[in-house]
Amino acid sequence: MATLEDIGVSAFINILSAFAFLLAFALLRIQPINDRVYFPKWYIKGTRTSPRGGNFVTKWVNLNIMNYLTFLNWMPAALKMSQSELIDHAGLDSAVFLRIYLLGLKVFLPMTFAALLILIPVNVSGGSLFFLRKELVMSNIDKLSISNVPPKSIRFFVHISMEYLFTFWICYMLYKEYDIVASMRLRFLASQSRRVDQFSVLVRNVPHVSGRSVSETVDHFFQTNHPDHYIGHQAVYNANKFAKLVRKRDRLQNWLDYNQLKFERHPDKRPTSKLGFLGLWGKRVDSIEYYKQQIKELDKRMALERQKIIKDSKSIMHVAFLSFNSRWGAAVCAQTQQSKNPTLWLTNWAPEPRDVYWRNLSIPFFSLSIRRLIISLSVFALVFFYMIPIAFVQSLANLDGLEKVAPFLRPVIELKFIKSFLQGFLPGLALKVFLYILPTVLMIMSRIEGHVAFSVLERRAAAKYYYFMLVNVFLGSIVTGTAFEQLHAFLHQSPAQIPRTIGVSIPMKATFFVTYIMVDGWAGIASEILRLKPLVIYHLKNMFIVKTERDRKKAMNPGSVDFPETIPSLQLYFLLGIVYAVVTPILLPFIIVFFAFAFFVYRHQIINVYNQRYESAAAFWPHVHSRIIASLLISHLLLLGLLSTKKAANSTPLLIPLPILTLAFHKYCKNRFEPAFRKYPLEEAMAKDIAERNAEPNFNIKAYLADAYLHPIFGSFEEEAEPVQVRIDKNQASHVAAAAAVADSPSLSEVSSPSPPHYVHNYDVESQHYIYNYDVESQNNVYHYNVESHGNWY
């Protein structure tokens, strides 16, 4: 077991490596050549441009020595922005995400003081028995933990009262934080300018009515049941085939770009290629001409396909985005049950357009139930049995197996150096690969579950990752053996025995977790700020691909806060802190360092780097809250188990009310705050409606909403947007006039009914125009999104 000195050495190494990362970051970030890697957010906002002027060298390398001396000045700079500015700058999600780290500091700082001042003296002085029994090999760190207190000691009353104190303190902080976040969310939603999703409702499972198109069915139903508020809808198309063409076109465009670049570099030699398989044989053609021709043909096919999709009633899915003339009408429709059959006409808030995961929109209700069942079973299997396939792969991948499969490799493998390298490397490889692809696998699982918004997908993936970490990192480290063995053991132990088994080994694992916090927490966060991977990729792209300013913008790849991974690991640190606060309080300072450091780093990244893909207005908070509560419950149970092995029979029962009170607190919070994250109160909607009606009485809501939720495939032809600009404006004007004419009486929106062919073209063309506008106004635009993330919506 590690002694205090061991931990000191480990801490020293980790602090050193963290500092190395920081130093590297400090040096790299002030080089102008890296400016776009470390400050992409400002480029996207348009307030920063590439460093110009100066000579050739200063354009690439920073020669100002002063900048090198103040290399840590990003830290105070990261704190300068106020919270409201931060919300404006990066959105509420990011601001609330930072509050989790602050909450960690607020919770654990006083707890650390209390624990160090009260518990450590109690534990250390309790060790009278310890010095008598020298034969027991115990580490120094155990002297500071609850292990040092002899059984049946009256000192356990101190631990129990501290556990009460800590629980009340955490609950108090959680309550305050929930309150603040909930009101921040409501204020954010209220303060936002007009947004399409406030007026939109997603309806799923539109029933099939014979003799009527989906559009007619939707219009008829909602004109009947929401006559005063419904103004129209936008259909959702099944565009699988079209998306394939889009992907093919992207590929061709890439080849064209590559060949054009090649030609620019060597203008003397026009690039050619062969038409046969993999370009190995066949007729030799001029590459640039060939790809241009191919793209032109594909564009024609795509235009045809697009027309076909819009005309063909079968490609319209049984899903639609409804538009309402007021937030009140949309709120009512989203929150109420529409049909006698509760599986039909399922209405819900429309996610904001950037957030829609189009592919899942068409999954029918029945299939959803089955998908969810299958995925929950798979997650359970993944969490508890993931070692089985890995062990299998490992057994295949050992050297003997390899030699059997590929006997010709034997001479190479038998070399001593290579053999020892492979033996050390191969068995771990399968596990490493698995852990690397795990977030992707969990995300795919969430997609199969059928959620229709990226934000929900990420939250669900985060939940799965949390379960995995809880079982495999936390429990798995405490109880040795694979999760599967644990499960087996737990099934054959009495429920009262489980917390004992775990509780007893908890103090012994403190040193492991201290090391874990330093490696995964400290060094991990420091490597986050360095952005090594984006740095390398950016410079590679810059070297080979980038031609125009737009290309350079595309190459930046700012990334975003990776909620599915960061939030679960954050929650793991909360769990560690809460569990060890009473058991081994010396662990707390390490956690505080993690929270403080991570706060600085993420604040810097959010201000300067990340560009969030969507804005869910802190919809993840209820999960954060409930998992901290779960950590509290786990800590109560484990302390119960631990104390019951210490024979503290007269004090242990005092702990029993604690989990019950915590659960009651959780239930109260759920009732009190959660609706703010799930529903949109009518009071708010009405107030916003009235204020807006007074400010802009003649605003044409119908025109505003007309193409808000157009399938992204219809916005993917950047080239066409320019030439038809003139026509668009004319069309739009007539369209707005028409819309204004029908705006008074609720009637079928011509714009949103794509069946008559003469509208189709307007529709399509306008859509690009709208999206283009959106782009200019809001920076976080649909257009940009389409370009960046084709891989996402299909």
User: Which residues of the shown chain bind a second copy in the complex (CB under 8 A)?
Assistant: 183, 186, 221, 224-226, 228, 328, 331-332, 335-340, 342-343, 345, 365-366, 369-370, 373, 377, 490-497, 660, 664, 667-668, 671-676, 679-684, 686
- Write down the least CB distance from residue 626 to a second copy, Å: 16
The dihedral sign for the CA sequence 29, 30, 36, 39: positive
Whole-number minimum distance, CB 428 to a second copy, in Å?
A: 33
Q: What one-character DSSP code corresponds to residue 319?
A: E
Q: Which is nearer to a second copy, 230 or 759 (CB)?
A: 230
Q: Smaller CB distance to a second copy: residue 182 or 570?
A: 182
Whether 255 contacts 292, CB under 8 Å: no
> Do the bridges between strand 284-286 and strand 316-324 make them parallel or antiparallel, or are there none, so unpaired?
unpaired
Torsion angles phi and psi, residue 345, rounded to 5: 50, 50
Tokens of 45: 């906002």
HEC profile of 553-577:
HHHHCCCCCCHHHHHHHHHHHHHHH
Report the relative pairing of strands 316-324 and 200-204 from DSSP bridges: antiparallel
CA distances from 527 to 15, 17, 59 (A): 12, 9, 26
Q: Which is nearer to a second copy, 246 or 333 (CB)?
A: 333
CB of 216 to a second copy, least distance (A): 17
Q: In the complex with a second copy, which residue's Cβ is closer, 176 or 300? A: 176
Nearer to a second copy (CB atom), residue 336 or residue 398: 336
Minimum distance of a second copy from residue 349's CB (angstroms): 12
- Between strands 200-204 and 346-349, the pairing is antiparallel
746: CB partners within 8 A, 6+ apart = 223, 227, 228, 229, 230, 231, 325
Full DSSP string of 11-51: HHHHHHHHHHHHHHHHHHHTSGGGHHHH-HHHHHHTS----
Closest CA to 739 of 768, 767, 698, 709: 698
How many whole angstroms separate alpha carbon 458 and alpha carbon 462?
A: 6
Nearer to a second copy, 125 or 183 (CB): 183
The nearer residue to a second copy, 181 or 576, going by C-beta atoms, is: 181
SS3 756: coil
Nearest distance, CB of residue 439 and a second copy, angstroms: 27
Q: Output 191 or 369, the one with its CB closest to a second copy.
A: 369
Burial of 102 (0-12, 13-18, 19+ CB in 10 A): middle
Can you list the pairs that 558-561 forms with residues at least 24 positions away whose Cβ atoms lie under 8 Å?
558/40, 558/41, 558/44, 558/609, 558/610, 558/611, 559/531, 559/534, 559/609, 559/610, 559/611, 560/610, 560/611, 560/612, 560/613, 561/93, 561/94, 561/97, 561/602, 561/605, 561/606, 561/610, 561/612
Min dist CB 500 to a second copy, Å, is 11
Going by DSSP bridges, is the β-strand pair 346-349/272-274 parallel, antiparallel, or unpaired?
unpaired
Residue 471 has what DSSP assignment?
Answer: I
Instruction: State in angstroms the smallest separation of the CB of 366 from a second copy.
Output: 8
φ/ψ of residue 624, rounded to 5: -55, -50
Q: In angstroms, what is the minimal distance from the CB of 340 to a second copy?
A: 5
| Residue number, 393 or 487, with CB nearest to a second copy | 487
Nearer to a second copy, 270 or 678 (CB): 678
- Measured distance CA(115)–CA(157) in Å, rounded: 14
Show the CA angle centred on residue 73, arms to residues 71 and 77, nearest 5°. 150
CB of 107 to a second copy, least distance (A): 23
Least gap, CB of 325 to a second copy (angstroms): 13
- Residue 159, C-beta contacts closer than 8 angstroms, at least 6 positions apart: 119, 122, 146, 149, 582, 639, 643
- Tell me the closest approach of the beta carbon of residue 183 to a second copy, in angstroms: 8
Q: In residues, how long is the chain?
A: 794
Do strands 284-286 and 272-274 pair parallel, antiparallel, or not at all (unpaired)? antiparallel
Closest CA to 366 of 338, 398, 337, 343: 343
> Which CB sits closer to a second copy, 179 or 775?
179
From the CB of 332, what's the least distance to a second copy, in Å? 5
Please report how close the Cβ of residue 492 comes to a second copy at its closest, in angstroms: 5
Please name every residue paired with 322 in a beta bridge, in sequence order, or none if there are none: 201, 233
CB-CB contact of 347 with 203 (8 Å): yes
249 or 688: CB nearest a second copy = 688
Q: Is 266 exposed, middle or buried (0-12, 13-18, 19+ CB in 10 A)?
A: exposed
Q: Measured from the CB of residue 339, what is the shortest distance to a second copy in angstroms? A: 5
Query: Which residue, 266 or 672, has its beta carbon nearer to a second copy?
Result: 672
Closer CB to a second copy, 227 or 411, in the complex: 227
- Residue 131 three-state SS: helix
Whose structure tokens read 């200019």? 776
- The residue among 10 and 335 lying less far from a second copy, judged by its C-beta, is 335
328 or 759: CB nearest a second copy: 328
The CB-of-236 to a second copy minimum distance in angstroms stands at: 22
605 and 566 Cβ atoms separated by less than 8 Å: no
In this complex, which beta carbon is closest to a second copy, that of residue 31 or of residue 225? 225
Closest CA to 344 of 199, 215, 210, 209: 209
Rounded to the nearest whole angstrom, what is the least distance from the CB of residue 683 to a second copy in the complex? 5
Tell me how far, at minimum, the Cβ of 753 lies from a second copy, in Å.
Answer: 22
Minimum distance, C-beta of residue 668 to a second copy, in the bound complex (Å): 5
Phi, psi angles (nearest 5°) of residue 227: -60, -35
Q: Which is nearer to a second copy, 222 or 358 (CB)?
A: 222
